[in-house]
Every structure is written in C-alpha cells, then in structure tokens.
Structure 1
Amino acid sequence: MLPHVFLRVKNYQNLGYKCMMWLRSEVSGRKMAAAPLYCVCRQPYDVSRFMIECDICKDWFHGSCVQVEEHHAVDIDVYHCPNCDVKHGPSLMKKRNNWHRHDYTEPDDGSQPVQAGTSVFIKKLQNRTFPSADELLIRMRGEQVTPRYLERHGFNYPLVITEMEGLGLKLPPPTFSVKDVEQYVGGDKVIDVIDVARQADSKMKLSEFIKYFTKPHRPKVLNLISLEFSDTKMSELVEVPDVAKKMSWVENYWPDESFFPKPFVQKYCLMGVKDSYTDFHIDFGGTSVWYHVLWGEKIFYLIKPSPTNLALYEAWSSSPNQSEVFFGDKVEKCYKCVVPQGTTLLIPTGWIHAVLTSQDCMAFGGNFLHNLNIGMQLRCYEMERRLKTPDLFKFPYFEAICWYVAKNLLEMLKELREDNCPPSTYIVDGVKALIGALRTWLKREVTEPTSEVPDNIRPNHLIKELTKEIRYLEDESVSGSKPVKSQGYGLSSGMNGCLTTRSLERLCQARRARRAARRLREQQGQAPKLPSNLDILERHTRDVLKRLEVGPLEEVSKKERMAGGAALEKTFLQNRCDSFLSSLHRTQRFVPRFTENSTKCRLHQQQERPTSPSTEEAIQGMLSMAGLLCSSKAEEERSLQELQGDKSPMDSQGNSSSEAWDNQGLPSPETDYQYCDPSMSPPLHPSKRHAPNPPPISNQATKGKRPKKGMATAKQRLGKILKLNRHSRVFV
C-alpha cells in the first residue's frame, strides 16, 4: 500500500506563504486507511480551507483555528504554531523594503518600475489627467433605456442613468450597510477578496471581511467584487434592470430541464475600501455590465473595443510585465468616467475598463449576454481561451448557452421566413458568427473534450439548418424577388426592418399560437375524417364492381354470368366509372363539404370562375340515384335554387330523360331523391336488365321488403345515369 503523499509548496509568486496538498490513492480498487488528522482540531484535510505549516514542528493548521488569515500569511516569514510559539517565540514577519512592488521585500534600488495596485501606483493614477468620457457617454433617463431603443440605435457606447424611474432597477436604500449584507447573506459564506497591493486573490469568510471593512485602521487594501447573492435572502432586495432581464440569454434561452446548472451572474454586491483598484479587463465572455453605486464613488477608465485596441489588449494581457505597464498608455484614448452615488452605468460588450474606488463604496451590478453583439461576445471568449484564463474567471457554461441560443435563433429564423418578415441585421450577423464558433467547437471537441454540448441538441444538424437559413436569406437579398411585409411584428424603420424586442414578444406569442393550432390539428387528424362526395361515390362504385365479380344474384353462378355477358357488363361499367372519376379529378372545380346539421352535401366553389352546374348536379344526381344521399324535396329545391338560380324548363317532348335532367345536364327540381339504400344489388347493363323492380336481396337495411311502387331501385338509377351519359356532357 502506498502512503499518502504530501506536497509542500512554497509559492514565491505569492510572496512565500506555505500551503499543502495531499493525494489519496487507491491500490487494487481498495481504499487506503483513514485520512490523517491535522491542526489543533484534529480534523482531516479539507481542500476548501486554508492551512499553514509550522516551520518548527512541520505540522499543518487551519488558518481559522490559529487566527491566521490567508492574506496575512503572505506577510509571515517564519511561522510558529501555538505549541511552538511558547518555546520559540512568536512568528517572524517579513520586512518591507518598498511601496511600489507587489513583492515589498525586494530592495528598492530604483531600477524596478511601479506595479499596478501598489500605493505608489494609486497616487500617480489619481494625479493623472484623462479625456473626459462625456464625449462618448450617452446620458438617458431610466424610462428611455429599453430593449427597443438599443435594438434601434445599437448598444455600442456606455449609458449613464441618473433618473432611475422606469429603469426597473430595485435596490436597498442608501442606508444599507456592510453589516446588513452580512445579515442577509450570512457571515460563514466564504468569499474571494483581492489584495490590491499584490493584485492577488485570497479567500476569507464574509464575517472576517466585514470586521476588516468596519475597522478604522486597515493595514491592507482589500476589495470584494465577486459576491454573487442570487441564492441568498438579499436577492429579494434587488431587481435587475428590465433591459438586462429582457435581453439576457440566460433568462430567455436557458431551459429549466438543462443538465448543466444555470449560471448566476446577474446579481453581484461590490464592497471596496478607498484606493481599491481593479486593473484593465474585459468582463468574462464579453458580457455587458450594469453598475449602480449605492453609496460612495467609483472611477472607470474606459477604452473602446476597436480591433486595434483588442489586439493590443491581448498582447498586453499575455506579456510577463503586464503589471508594470499601464494599458491606458498603449492605446490612442483612455477615457475617465466618474460614477457618483445614485448613478447607474451600463457598459457594452467588449469594452476594456479599469476601476478605481476613490472612497469607501458599495455598489451592485450584474453581467448578461444578449443578441445585439454576438460576434464580439464570441471574440472575447476565444481571447480568454488563448490567454488560458482559469475556468473560475470565465462565464459558466458559455458554450452550452451558445448551443441553446443557436437552437432558439433557428426557430426564430424559420418563423420569420414563414411570415415573410426579414430578420434584423444584427441577428443575421450574429448567427453567422455563431455558426463559425459552433463548427470550431465541434472540431475542438475531438482533441479537447469539454462536454458542453447539450444532450437534446444534434450539433451537426443544428449547424446545417442554421447555414441553410442564412443561405436562404442571402439568396433572397440578391434576387429581391420575394415580397417583404412592411407591417407585422413591429418592424422599425430605423434598423432597415429589424426585429425589436416588442416584435419578438409578438413573434413568440404567434409561435405559441401556431404550435397550439398544430397540436390541435394533429389531435383532430387522429379522429376519423368525414368522407367527401367523391370518396362516397368511388367507394360505392368499387363496391358495385366487387359484387359483379362475386355475382349479383344467388341463382346465377360466376361461370354462367361470365359466359352470358357479365364480362361485357363489367368492362362497360369499369370503363365508365373510371372515366367518370378521372374526369372529376381533372376538373378540380369544386370542393365537397359535409355540414354538421345535415347529411346533405353542398358543393363550394374553389376557384374564382363559377363551378359548372353540370358537374355539380351530376355529382348530386349520381349520389342520390345510388342511394347515398338523403335529402328532402324542400331541401333539394333550396339547394338547386342556390346553385342554379331558378328552375330549368322541362323538355318539350316530355320524355323520361327530361324528368331527371334538363338540357344543361342538371337534375330537375321535381325529381324525388328520398330513397337511400346503398345495400341494394348492383345493376346490370340496361340491355341485360331483369324484370322491373326485382325483389332485393334480403339484408339488415331493407329487411327483405320491396321498394315502394314508383320508386326506382339502385340498379335502375345507376343504369339510368349510364344510359343518359351517352347524350350529356357530364362525363366528358
């Protein structure tokens, strides 16, 4: 069995304080013995707790158990634990040799430049002059800052809001203190603080930081900028500005059923003492930022995210002497923006900025990704990867949220195309940038798996569909043949037909309505559909032909009927019925529809040209004579009056054909179609017809009864239609 391995690391970059890591191993699948115990509390090692090693006994102790805070440990040169302290005296502290270097033990020979965050650096910065940010800031009232405004005019310059009404921002009163923060968040919460003089992070409990903040004498400058409190009681006291909430990717696109935990980056509490300084940076993932100074004051040093400045920033961030160079001196212009108490500042995507706390200050802020600057956000994320930024300082699950956004943007583009409504330019440009990034991530997944592709997304299919939509838009823009709606979805003329947030809300509502209608149609599609007139007629005709194959009369065998002319009769009926059905399908002049209150079929015009009366009434007569249409005489007269306008004159000769058909091929209004028995025996050819009114085959419908006197049988009616066909234009 392998013993536990202890690694004692002296971090000279962080001024020499000692830390410890131990490695637990497993041999042959069996766990090793119980972990060793440390400190005066005799507890096993906890990676989340700071520990320090005694230089005398070589034992390890929790900083909280021996009253040594992590940011104080860097000042100890030789540490003595409480047991060794009695025999060897107190710990030995480092000697300060300078005030302008992160390692203040370096000899001050005047050859080393000033480093950012040191007291000398802060004094020089406060005495410098910078161009005023007033020439680029956009000052607005809270009610004016809306997603609609940003979509029309873009979100490319910082916004300053002094009148909060209408902004939707909810905050505690200015009397809210750091002790109130401890009460709402909890003093045991472990937080990350920045030792400003060294520009290094360290961990401590919130209660310890509050004690430090409230002391009149502070040996160090500590800055707290990463307290996210969305999961605490203090979250109820703060509401994010409406513009940030409505535009946020996380709020709008992150699904509740996601495997990945939802990122919480919308609510931060920033507490900094006087002379706190954060060097130049771009917020993680290229997020936009909102700040509100509750009390105190902050000074921002702003630099535009031009391609040149971004390239200079990346080179400066990766240089070994980054802390010795003030980045504001490397660019053309660095603007100074003072944010006093009660003021809100919104910083767009990609802006490079540093922050100086000129007096004790409490501020609230948050980060959000949005659709307006997708390309810039992706560029900042790729820059973070090249700079090898630790995951702790990157936007949580940035790639996952991009996949979710791509899926939703694909649905949006499809909806807009269906509605003949062009998407805005920033959406098209953003989707193009997103397609390139998604392809890169998929290729990178082979060699550097990140597992940030959601399970419910098919990545290759999604990229293909997005590319298809963009190609479709490009083809339409080149051809210009597709008409574009000038109204609908609230298109704004200021952005060349772009889709605003209000329009997006309408689009979402329309999309939900269409989905509901589609589900309803699918449910209705599962129910049996009512057959059309053509379906009934075709079904009846094929039933007739099927019976001809079996034999219409029981006493006549199949062989005898085939020998006696039944084959000829079948061929004749088959040809006539097929010709009739094909001609009806070719005409395409009517659409049959059943009404709910009656079994009567009404023919409705489909094209602009009036339907041919001959075709319509031919269908009615065919169905009626076949016993498939039941309607009273009064109803038939009303229907014919609607279609024909008035009664057709009788044939002057008064023959039998004129009783059923006029010279236009329409049934006469006097014709009675009240008999409806589709189960009668199939008719024979008129030349082969048996005696008039033969007894029908007994079945459930007729109960073996003969039809009433004067009423034609189904065979006779169908035969009459076929006979009259020779002299009419119905079947042409």
Structure 2
Amino acid sequence: MSIKKHNIDPDNEKNDDDDDKGKNQNDDAEKCSLCTDESETKDKTNWLQCNACKEWYHTDCLSLSTSDVEKMLSYHCFKCVPKSGPTLYKRLSSRKKLKIDYVAFNQGEQSFVNQLHPHISKLLDFNATEDHPQINHRPYYTIDGEELTYEFSMKTALDKPVVVLQKDKTRIQNLSIPDNLSIDDICNYMGEDHPVEVMDCLTQESLKNWNLGLWKDYYQKFDENTDKIRNVISLEISHNLKLNEIIKRPEFVTDLDIIDKTWPTNNNLDDLDNSKNDSNELTDLSEFNVKRPKVSKYCLMSLKNSYTDFHIDFGGTSVFYNIVKGKKIFLMFPPTDENYRLYKEWSLKDDQNNIFFPDYIEEKKRIYHNHNHNHNHNLNYSNPGSGFKVILNEGDFMIIPSGWIHAVYTPEKSFIIGGNFLTLFNLDQEIKVEEIENLTKVPKKFQFPNFKMTLWLISYYYLDNINKILKLDEREKKMLFTLYDYLKNELQFIKNKSIPNRIKKISKENIPRKQSVRKTDPT
C-alpha cells in the first residue's frame, strides 16, 4: 500500500514523458478511475495504491480520511477484494516501534553483558503441532548428495527444505569448501581492514566501525561469561579471487541460479563457478550500466547463543548452507499465504521485537478455531501452516527454498559458508517476497540488489536466447509468463497518466538502458 501527496511533487521537470506534455502540469488535476463530474470539487492531492492490482486512486474518491489510511496494513480495491480478500488493518499504538532494550543494555551494565535473547528458550521449547500436512509427513527432505540435482528440484519444486548429512555430502556434485577453512583464512585473503557488518544478537541491530581484524580478535577470544554476543551473517566473499577459487558452489545451485545466466564472465564481473553456460550465449551486459549482484557466497561466523529472529531471505532467494564448524538450529515456517499475511502483520507491529512469531501464529489460530466453532463457517483465510525445527551439525548441508520464514539459533560457536541464488522456477515466490519487503519497509541494503532491474535482464536473456526456452522445464516456462505479466504491469504503471511522475520515475530507472542509446525510452 502506498500513499502520496501531489502538492509536494517537485517533478514537473524536463524528463517527463512526451505523452504527458499536453496535459495540465498541475498534478492535482490528474484523474483516477473513480473521478466523476461531482467529484471535481474534492481534494485531489492524496493518492492510495491498491496492493493487489497496483492501481492508484484519490483517497477522497474512495471516501477515506487520512486516519482511515493510517490504520491500513494492505489496501485492496473493490475490484480485487473477491480474489485477494478485504483490506487488512493493523493494530495502532500511540507508542513508537520498540527496539529491544533489555534494561539499559547499551549502557554496559555487567549483569546484562551476557544476557541471552529472550526468544531462544521459546525456540528450544517449540514443538511442532500435528495439524498440518507437512508435519504429518516428513517436514523436510533428507537425501544423499548425489540426489541433489536440477532434476530433483523440478520434480519436487523444492517445496520443503533439503538436508544432506555430512556422511552423504561428498557426493554433492562440484561442491568444494575446505573443511579447515577458518577466520584466519578469511582475514588473510580479504585483509584485516576489510569492513564487516556485525549484529548485536540481543538488540538485533547492526554495529558500526567493525573490520575483520577486530572481529577476528573478538571471535577467537570470546568469553561467554563476559562478552556481549555478536554475530556476522552478511560477509559476502565472492569478489575475492582466492576465496572464489577455493570455494565452489554445488552444480545444483549453479544450474538453477538465474544470475549465472544473465551476467557474462569478464574481468569486471564475478566468474561463474561451475557454470555450464557458454559465455557466447549470454546477453552482453557491457552495454548496460549494471553491476552483478554480489550475493552468491557468504561467510557466516556466530558465537555460542547467537540468535537471528524470524525473517525471509532477501528477494525470495533460495539459500545453500554448509556447516564448516559448529551447529545450528532452524525454526522454519512454510511460505503459505496465511503465514505471509501473519508475517506482514507481525513485522509491522509496534512491539514486534518482543513477540515470538510462533506465539503470534498460535494466537491467530485460536481466533480462527473459535470463530469457526462459534459461527459454523470459514473465515476468508486458511489455518496457518505449522513450523518445525531443523538441526544441522558440523559438516551438514542444507538448501532453504524460496520464501521460507525462519529463525536461527547457534548452540555452539559456528563457521558457515553459504550463498543466495534466484531461480526461474520460483519467480512468482520471489516477486511475492519483494512485495512483502516493500510493504514491511525493509531497508534497501537488506534487499536483493537491483531486484526489478534483474527481472528485466532475465527477460533480455531469454529474448536473446529463444532456443533456451525450449529446454526449460514446464514450471520454468510457466514462470516466463509470470515474468511477462510482471513487466507488462510495470510498463502500464509507467504509462499511467494518473500516477505522479516522481513515482513513475523510480520504475523507469529500473529498466536497464544501453549506455550508447540512453536517449531511447524503452517504454
């Protein structure tokens, strides 16, 4: 849901669309589809966007006040209600959104230095319920390494996480991660002055002014009785030539990773490890001012009792996750529509940091059951999908499919190599997650880099390589239609004269343009 005020629009400027030149330059005069002759006297400065169809309306034409809009979590217009359900509302509070502040933590009182995140005990005590189909069967796949193939992903649609135990991992095709890889190696190859983002596990906030040298000293000398618990989960390492050489992603990942298909190999961009693609078949992106997203290889380093609260990996990316040293416990919830609805509500709550997401789900389940029992009919949403735990020990390997909601606990000091990848066959899920990120106001630095631009580049790739479409699985072919519809809607959005130019400008900038023909407008 988006709301904009036209009377603060600075964009009556030179780069407006040619087809806009003949219209009244006063944005207040722009009409929405609900405008009538009788509505001419109404206020036309405030606009509201439907989250489902993306159409914009004047709030006055909808007879909505500013306070009405502020209560909304996700607005659905009258045309979309039958398919997408009614508008969702959030619980309002006069308080600002709370950050975890367990008794003046930042002031350094010794008694709270080693305090654990309060959700850890709840995660450890969590028991899966038996009222969901995925729990009644195996909640995740446990397979031999040689079974982890492109064909496996097409057969299963990766509808559940995949675990390969250490004893079966050697047969994963092309996976190469040294068993003795350590923080010393990372520092040697990347340099101790390399900046690193460190997370305070109690507050779940990023800490500034850390580099690998400082982190190495902390990580190696950590004392659980005196030191605050910190965590590194976003150190991307694929740009380092030596690490990129000794760490190879499994063939399963490189076969699926759509970025490997849309970015060429050259000296300015990352190499495509294990890729079977002929670089001559790749779209020549040297004509575009676009940098390859650096998300393919991460080093994660966690101290004992580290905790990462519930989240969805950025852009709906899938994840490969290899435990070099240590142990991890995941609590995972499937990407059902109802779980997503609850996740959005939970993410936007004022006191979200103090609410254990499974508790929020259980609260909604009770409402669901009580309502159906008392009224003898179904609500317009389904029963939330139940969660389950996945325990990974040293040497184990896991694939987290697109869109799964999960929290992670570290029972012992751990060193992880993993990576994120976009897939074509999960494109609908990835688009859905990107919309959730925007709705829940996830900062851009925690989203997939240039996500919309990447979707355009995927379309360019298949337009340049029509023969590749014939080799796709049926599910992947179906996703090309999803991609077409998405990009078509983006173009319709840009051409919609009722939408302010400053808003359209953002979408236009996401369309890759050849530098040599920058004046050409693809719209």
TM-score under structure 2 length normalisation: 0.62
Residue 438 (structure 1) aligned with residue 441 (structure 2):
no
The SS at the match of 2:295 is coil
Question: Which residue number in structure 1 is paired with residue 119 of structure 2?
Answer: 121
Question: Which residue number in structure 2 is paired with residue 386 of structure 1?
Answer: 439
Matched-pair contact (CA < 8 Å) for 1:221–1:276: yes
1:224-255 per-position Cα deviation (integer Å, ceiling 9, x unaligned)? 00010112232222101111112111111124
The number of residue pairs the alignment matches comes to 350
Matching of residues 553-702 of structure 1 within 5 Å: none
Matching of residues 310-459 of structure 1 within 5 Å: 310-329=340-359, 330=361, 331-410=384-463, 424-445=473-494, 446=501, 447-450=503-506, 451-456=509-514
Given candidates 187, 210, 213, the residue that maps to 2:216 is 210
1:618-673 per-position Cα deviation (integer Å, ceiling 9, x unaligned)? xxxxxxxxxxxxxxxxxxxxxxxxxxxxxxxxxxxxxxxxxxxxxxxxxxxxxxxx
1:291-345 per-position Cα deviation (integer Å, ceiling 9, x unaligned)? 0001100011110101111111111112211111111231441100001111110
How far is 1:448 from its partner?
4.1
Matched-pair contact (CA < 8 Å) for 1:290–1:366: yes
Matched-pair contact (CA < 8 Å) for 1:246–1:252: no
How far is 1:187 from its partner?
0.7
Question: Which residue number in structure 1 is paired with residue 149 of structure 2?
Answer: 146
What runs of 5+ residues in structure 1 fail to find an aligned partner?
1-99, 107-116, 465-732
Residue 181 (structure 1) aligned with residue 186 (structure 2):
yes
How far is 1:175 from its partner?
3.1
Matched-pair contact (CA < 8 Å) for 2:172–2:250: yes
Distance 1:144 1:377 in 2: 25
Matched-pair contact (CA < 8 Å) for 2:462–2:468: no
Distance 1:124 1:415 in 2: 48
Distance 2:255 2:413 in 1: 32
Question: Which residue number in structure 2 is paired with residue 102 of structure 1?
Answer: 101
Distance 1:235 1:404 in 2: 24
Q: Which amino acid aligns with 2:429?
A: M
Distance 1:158 1:195 in 2: 27
Question: Which residue number in structure 2 is paired with residue 697 of structure 1?
Answer: none
The SS at the match of 1:165 is helix
Q: Which amino acid aligns with 2:441?
A: K
Matched-pair contact (CA < 8 Å) for 1:249–1:401: no
Q: Of the two structures, which has the highest relative contact order with CA contacts closer than 8 Å and spacing of 6 or more?
A: 2
1:27-58 per-position Cα deviation (integer Å, ceiling 9, x unaligned)? xxxxxxxxxxxxxxxxxxxxxxxxxxxxxxxx
The SS at the match of 2:505 is coil
Matching of residues 213-292 of structure 1 within 5 Å: 213-217=219-223, 218-232=226-240, 233-254=242-263, 255-257=284-286, 258-292=288-322
Q: Which amino acid aligns with 2:261?
A: N
Matched-pair contact (CA < 8 Å) for 1:139–1:161: yes
TM-score under structure 1 length normalisation: 0.45
How far is 1:424 from its partner?
4.2
Distance 2:117 2:468 in 1: 58
Distance 2:522 2:253 in 1: 28
The SS at the match of 1:270 is strand
CA spacing shift, 1:101–1:318, aligned 2, 3 Å? closer
Distance 2:201 2:153 in 1: 36
How far is 1:443 from its partner?
4.6
CA spacing shift, 1:377–1:172, aligned 2, 3 Å? closer
Question: Which residue number in structure 1 is paired with residue 93 of structure 2?
Answer: none
Distance 1:184 1:409 in 2: 37
Distance 1:272 1:403 in 2: 36
1:56-115 per-position Cα deviation (integer Å, ceiling 9, x unaligned)? xxxxxxxxxxxxxxxxxxxxxxxxxxxxxxxxxxxxxxxxxxxx9524229xxxxxxxxx
What runs of 5+ residues in structure 2 fail to find an aligned partner?
1-98, 106-114, 264-283, 362-383, 495-500
Matching of residues 509-524 of structure 1 within 5 Å: none
Question: Which residue number in structure 1 is paired with residue 44 of structure 2?
Answer: none
